[in-house]
A and B are shown apart, each in its own frame.
Chain A
């Protein structure tokens, strides 16, 4: 975690509010049920919004820690799948090369 003097919430508080609002919407319920077969869980966005506001107003260290842990858990959850392929360090070298001369126009 970065030291407190330069730290700010990973997302603006408005972003947490927007994600919470989207999560609670009827349309998102439908999308989530269609994909996962269960209702979405939105409580964490609400907790993160509260932590973000707490930090903005009072610079509460517990709020900062709670927010960091929550976001790290999200990153872990997004990356926990086993990769099928090996990642690249840079795009393929031929991505921007001109097309072969044999191509008919």
Chain B
């Protein structure tokens, strides 16, 4: 991110790439609303900002991001009104983390269902978590950005088998790692004006370290069961560290 206030909404510190199969709907979101019976009533009566706010509320109450919320700043809380903002975004970015204002930007024109909102919020909360626990140089150190993007792609569900199949990326053995490398590279390119080779090189340099950094979950939370176990471990941490 450049750091200039008027560019804040255009160049977040860390971003997420939209799923490729919705290319046509990224520019014209009203077409998606017409074809989705589940959202017919929803889309008729609410603006995109209201839908974004409602989906965000549901995510924070029920999703695995609930666990991240508890640990993002070690001594405080994530405040929905202070740390989240629903806005229209350019291009096909789904969201971003703005380190200069400590705020997560959700692209209300590019998030079209609850599952996607869950993933985007989890992804951006991982960036917020890294921002709170380490001196991350978002703006001038490409390796720091790459590391946080690897972690976000790894731990948010972006690269689940089901999501990859929906993107028509078929692979099983160790495919998760291929996906994490690719999506981290795409996320870097969405917020930095650099070549694909430079982005890929940064991802490769930090991958071994950052792919195996599963904080704050302690594991990759593939589904609610894993997230529940991670939350249980977090609540048990005092007993754990005082008895080993």
Contact = CB atoms under 8 A, between A and B. Distances in A.
B220 A87 contact: no
A34 B82 CA distance: 37
A84 B211 CA distance: 11
Interface string A76-95: 00101111111110111011
A68 interface: yes
B2 interface: no
B132 A95 contact: yes
Chain B interface size range:
35 or more
Contact of A84 (B5, B101, B210): B210
B82 A92 contact: no
Given A9-B243, A87-B134, A36 B214 contact: no
Given A15-B236, A34-B172, A92-B102, A102 B5 contact: yes
Interface in A14-48: 15, 18-19, 22, 27, 30-31, 33-37
A88 B132 contact: yes
Contacts of B35: none
Chain A interface size range:
35 or more
A36 B229 contact: no
A98 B85 CA distance: 13
B21 interface: no
Given A95-B76, A99-B103, A75 B244 contact: yes
A28 to B, nearest CB: 8
Contacts of A33: 172-173
A35 B178 CA distance: 9
A81 B172 contact: no
A81 B176 CA distance: 19
Contacts, number: 111
Contacts of A78: 214, 218
A84 B75 contact: no
B236 A11 contact: yes
Nearest to B228: A18
A82 B214 CA distance: 13
A10 B240 contact: yes
Contacts of B236: 11-12, 15
Given A85-B135, A86-B134, A96-B73, 20 more contacts: A1-B244, A8-B243, A10-B239, A10-B240, A10-B243, A10-B244, A11-B233, A15-B232, A15-B236, A30-B161, A34-B172, A34-B173, A34-B176, A37-B173, A68-B244, A81-B210, A81-B212, A85-B144, A90-B74, A99-B101
Closest 3 CB pairs of A and B: A37-B174, A91-B73, A81-B209
